[in-house]
Amino acid sequence: MPWTLVKRGLRKQIITPLDAPQEFREEAHRERQAREWVQDTARLRALGLAYHWQRLLAGG
């Protein structure tokens, strides 16, 4: 059964599609996007550092 974990302050609440009010779905969507953005930022930083180190190694 599909479900969504929604943070409410310090509590976490599991919402199923059958009992999910519209505001919880929107909040869960925003939370999911924020997590994806953080992961992308870390990947881009790692890629930038790898490119920097490659340039330093190639340049001697």
What percent helix, strand, coil does the chain show, rounded to 5? 65, 15, 20
pLDDT of residue 14: 74
pLDDT in tens, 10-59: 787 776 666 656 667 777 777 777 777 766 777 888 889 999 999 999 99
pLDDT of residue 23: 67
Distances (CA, A) of 20 to 28, 33, 34, 46, 55: 10, 18, 20, 37, 51
